[in-house]
Amino acid sequence: MQTIVITGGAGFIGSNFVLHILAKHPEYRVLNLDKLTYAGNLDNLQAIADNPRHTFVRGDIANPELVDHLMKGVDLVVNFAAESHVDRSIMGAQEFMQANALGAYTLLDAARRHQIKRFLQVSTDEVYGSLAPGEAPWTEVSPLAPRNPYSVSKTAGDLMARSFFVTYGMPVLITRASNNIGPCQYPEKRVPLFVTNAIDNLPLPVYGKGTAVRDHLFVSDHCEALDLVLHQGQPGEVYNVGADNDADGEELTKQILDLLGKPHSLIEYVKDRPGHDLRYALDCSKLRALGWQPRCDLKTALAQTVDWYRANEPWWRKIKESWEFRAYYEKQYKKR
């Protein structure tokens, strides 16, 4: 039995990945390290509550003693743990630097001392900055030019991971993925926020004119890509992960409303995000050459996401009715 440390495994992508690994790899025991911030949710792990191959540890990846202790006898590390929401980083980025930069360093440092076999740093396409319409998609060698506090903190983690390969020869891999959608995404992010607002006939706050373009990667496609890179990627290499499921804000919002049979009049154009990145697009030929391709096109990914939120109302109502969410929503949207 091998041991894999998965950090941030109570969050959106991390919990989907924990479930994926336990289902696909009977040879692994998962050590799930998560601080349980507002975004961490043990409800996401209910299906594996009794699984003897899963151990949950509440803790901070930036805590050197804890991380050093946990790393003994570990084979693989996948680091998802992060503060992940751009809008919150615009309100203040202290925790983003702490988790995404210092936390990544602390984990890498312990992994190096314990001679971990492979370390996968889950990075983001936001490290590349913003593309103008018509510009070619980013490849893994495109310059890094992050433009908001979240993406700068993620770039620090990404480059620190690379430095551990270059400097110490540590077997590090880095993935840079586009916008994920799917089950268990905290409803501060656009798609789950809009789906759940629409179900409740509340306005859908589209930033600016809704012209910013994003690629929408279904989370299970991302998990398969991460699994492949972890096991078959070349140490020291970076892999873009995207699905070519592009849509701008207006188009995407209308598709969500149509899927739910709700009127387009629920759209409310609000003040734009400061420094809003206009467009992200990835060239993923390097990953595709490893044998990966996404299973879900935009229509399927959105429909499956909408279905999940419709079928799991108690999951998201508990969050949206919480004091934490209400306070955030008021601060972020009330005077917009």
Contact mark string toward ligand NAD, 162..181, x via CB under 6 A: ---------------x-xx-
106/102 Cα distance (integer angstroms)? 6
Within 8 A by CB and 6+ apart from 231, the residues are none
Work out which of 193, 219, 243, 319 binds ligand DAU, going by CB under 6 A. Answer: 193
**Site size for ligand NAD, by CB under 6 A?**
31
Which residue's structure tokens are 């993923």? 284
Within 8 A by CB and 6+ apart from 142, the residues are 128
37 forms part of the interface with ligand DAU (CB under 6 A): no
The strand pair at 172-177 and 267-270 is best described as: unpaired
Work out which of 178, 196, 220, 240 binds ligand DAU, going by CB under 6 A. Answer: 178
Structure tokens at 70: 């946990």
253 forms part of the interface with ligand NAD (CB under 6 A): no
CA distances from 70 to 28, 115, 176, 179, 333 (A): 16, 13, 26, 30, 40
Enter the DSSP assignment of 292: -
234/291 Cα distance (integer angstroms)? 13
Which residue's structure tokens are 């891999």? 173
129 binds, among ligand NAD, ligand DAU, none (CB under 5 to 8 A by kind): none
Work out which of 34, 60, 109, 125 binds ligand DAU, going by CB under 6 A. Answer: 125
214 binds, among ligand NAD, ligand DAU, none (CB under 5 to 8 A by kind): ligand DAU
Options 150, 186, 239, 280, the catalytic residue: 150
Would you say 154 and 145 are in contact if contact means Cβ atoms under 8 Å apart? no
22/315 Cα distance (integer angstroms)? 22
Enter the DSSP assignment of 131: P
Contact mark string toward ligand NAD, 260..279, x via CB under 6 A: --------------------
> Is 126 a known active-site residue?
yes
Contact mark string toward ligand DAU, 261..280, x via CB under 6 A: ------------x------x
CB of 14 to ligand DAU, least distance (A): 12
212 forms part of the interface with ligand DAU (CB under 6 A): yes
Residues tagged active-site: 125-126, 150
**Binding positions for ligand NAD, rule: CB under 6 A:** 7-8, 10-14, 33-37, 39-40, 60-62, 80-84, 99, 103, 122, 124, 154, 177, 179-180, 186
